Structure 1
Amino acid sequence: MDVVGYVRVSTGKQEASGLGLEAQVEYIQTAARQQGWNVTHIYSEAISGSVAPSARPEFSKAIATGLPIIVAKIDRLSRDVEHIAGLMKRVAFKVATMPNADTMQLHLFAVLAEQERAFISQRTRDALKALQQRADDGCVLSQAKVKRRSDNASVARAAKKERAAQTIEVVKQNSHHTEIAPHVKSCLYEGVNTLQSLSDCLNAKGKHTSRGGLWSPTTVRRLMLALGVWFKK
C-alpha cells in the first residue's frame, strides 16, 4: 500500500537542528517496513500544533495526494480532539507507534494527547510565574531570563506584525491587478508598444497605481510582469 509520511515540529529552530524530525521519520520508516507500506514522500514542516491540520501548507499537500497519511505519533497531527475527529472524516491516516489501532483507539489517544497539551500549558504557566516571582525577589539570573523572554516576545510580535502587513499588501496588490488588467489590455489593443506609452495611456484613463500614484515605466513593467502580458512583437 502506498502512503505518504508527515512529520512536524513546533518551531523553526527545532526544524533547523533536526531534533525531533529524524526520530519521527525513523518511526514512520520502521512501521512502513513492518506493515509492508511504501512511503512515496514525507512532508515536513515547522508549525504549532494549535494550527488546524487543514490550515498547514505541507499537511494540505499530503492530503492532496489522496493517499493514507502516516505520522509517528498522533500528537504530530494534533493535540486537539476536534481536529482529529474532523480528520477521520476526511482522510485515512495511520500512526506509526500503533499501526493497527482502530477508530475508537485513535479517539482515545487523541483525548490523552489533548489532556497532555493542557498539562504542558499549565506547567509552563506555573514555571513562568515562579520565574517572575524569583525576579521580583531580586534574583539577578531570573531577572536576566525575564528580560530575554520579554525581548524575544517583542521581536516575535514585530515579525508577526510585519508578516501581517506583507499579507495585506499582497492581497491589496492582487485586487488592484484584477481591477487594472482590463485597462492594460485596452491600451495594448490601442497599439501602445513601449513602457512609457503604456504609462501615459493608463494615466490618461485616470487609473492609478495601488498606492494612488501615477504610472511610470518602472511601475508599468512590474505590473506587466505580474499580469503575464507584454507588448506585441
Structure 2
Amino acid sequence: MKQYVIYTRVSTQEQGRSGHGLEAQERDIDLFLTNFSDVPYEVIGRFQDVLSGSSDDRPELAQALKLARSTGAELLVSKLDRLSRKVSFIAALMDDKALKLRVASMPFADKFQLHIYAALAEQERAFISERTKAALKSAKANGKKLGGLRDKTMKRNEAIQAKAKAEAEKVMKVIGPLRRSGATLAAIAATLNDTGIATSRGGAWTPTQVSRVLARVESP
C-alpha cells in the first residue's frame, strides 16, 4: 500500500491560528490524493510547522523526514516552497537516497525537475527583491512618502479584521453552545449548513471555517 507523510507550513502564528494558508495546502494535498495517487494509500503521519521558510531549524519537518525515511513513505507537500525557500536545502533533500518526495501541485515531477524548479524560483525571488528595492529608492529620490500607502493598507486590513471579528461574534451565538457541548468542528459546520446560516461570503461552512471563527473570537 502506498504510504504518505504529509507536511504543511505557514510563516506566522496568525496564519497558524486562523487557518489562512493551511486551507489551500490541504486542498492541494487532497486533490493529489484523490486524483493522482496510487490506491489504496495510507497517510501515516501529519506534521506542521509555523515558521519562516528561510529557517532550516523546523522540528516538525525533522520529525516528518525521520518518519518518511524510516518507513519508506513519500513525504507529501502542497508546494516545494513549503519545504524551504533555499535551493541548497532542497538540493540536499534531493540527494537523500532514503527519502521519497512528492509535490502535490506538480504530481508528475521527478527529483531532477523539482531541483530545477527550486533554482528558478530562488532566482525569481532575488530579482523581485532587487526590483522592489530599486522602486523604493526611486520613489524616495522623487520625494514621495513611502509610508503613506503602507498606512492605508494597514488601516484597510484593520477594518477588514474588525468586520470579520464582528461577524464571528454574531455566529458564535450558535457555535459557542455547540462547542461547549462537545460537538466537533465538522458537526458544527453541518449544523450551520442545515439551519441555513451562510458564511460571511454566502457559502457553505467547513470545519476549517468554524475553527477560524473560534480563533477570531478568542484572539485579543
Q: Which has the higher helix share?
A: 1
Aligned residue for 2:61?
Answer: 59
Structure 1 residue 98 and structure 2 residue 106: aligned? yes
Structure 1 residue 23 and structure 2 residue 27: aligned? no
Deviation at 1:5, TM superposition (A): 1.0
Paired residues of 2:101 and 2:111 also in contact (CA < 8 A): no
Deviations 1:24-52 (A, max 9, x none): 11111211222134223321122111112
Paired residues of 1:32 and 1:38 also in contact (CA < 8 A): no
Aligned residue for 1:47?
Answer: 51
Paired residues of 1:4 and 1:69 also in contact (CA < 8 A): yes
Structure 1 residue 32 and structure 2 residue 18: aligned? no
Deviation at 1:74, TM superposition (A): 0.9
Paired residues of 2:139 and 2:146 also in contact (CA < 8 A): no
Aligned residue for 1:154?
Answer: none
| Other structure's SS at 2:95 match | helix
Paired residues of 2:79 and 2:104 also in contact (CA < 8 A): yes
**Counterpart-to-counterpart distance in 1, 2:149 and 2:85:** 33
Deviation at 1:131, TM superposition (A): 6.7
Deviation at 1:123, TM superposition (A): 4.3
Structure having the higher Rg = 1
Aligned residue for 1:119?
Answer: 127
Aligned residue for 1:110?
Answer: 118
Runs of 5+ consecutive residues of structure 1 not aligned to the other structure: 149-233
Aligned residue for 2:79?
Answer: 73
Paired residues of 1:131 and 1:142 also in contact (CA < 8 A): no
Deviation at 1:14, TM superposition (A): 2.2
**Counterpart-to-counterpart distance in 2, 1:131 and 1:14:** 31
Aligned residue for 1:87?
Answer: 93
Give the structure-1-normalised TM-score: 0.53
Task: Say which structure, 1 or 2, has more relative contact order (CA 8 Å, 6+ apart).
Answer: 2
Query: How many residues end up aligned between the 2 structures?
Result: 142
Paired residues of 1:28 and 1:71 also in contact (CA < 8 A): yes
Deviation at 1:22, TM superposition (A): 0.7
> Percent of aligned pairs with the same residue?
42
User: 2:46 corresponds to which letter in structure 1?
Assistant: I
Give the structure-2-normalised TM-score: 0.55
**Counterpart-to-counterpart distance in 2, 1:51 and 1:100:** 27
Deviations 1:51-102 (A, max 9, x none): 12xx211101101213321111111112222111101223221000112211
User: 2:51 corresponds to which letter in structure 1?
Assistant: I
User: 1:29 corresponds to which letter in structure 2?
Assistant: D
Paired residues of 1:4 and 1:41 also in contact (CA < 8 A): yes
**Counterpart-to-counterpart distance in 2, 1:40 and 1:89:** 23
**Counterpart-to-counterpart distance in 2, 1:138 and 1:124:** 15
| Other structure's SS at 1:65 match | helix
Paired residues of 2:94 and 2:115 also in contact (CA < 8 A): no
**Counterpart-to-counterpart distance in 1, 2:146 and 2:107:** 50
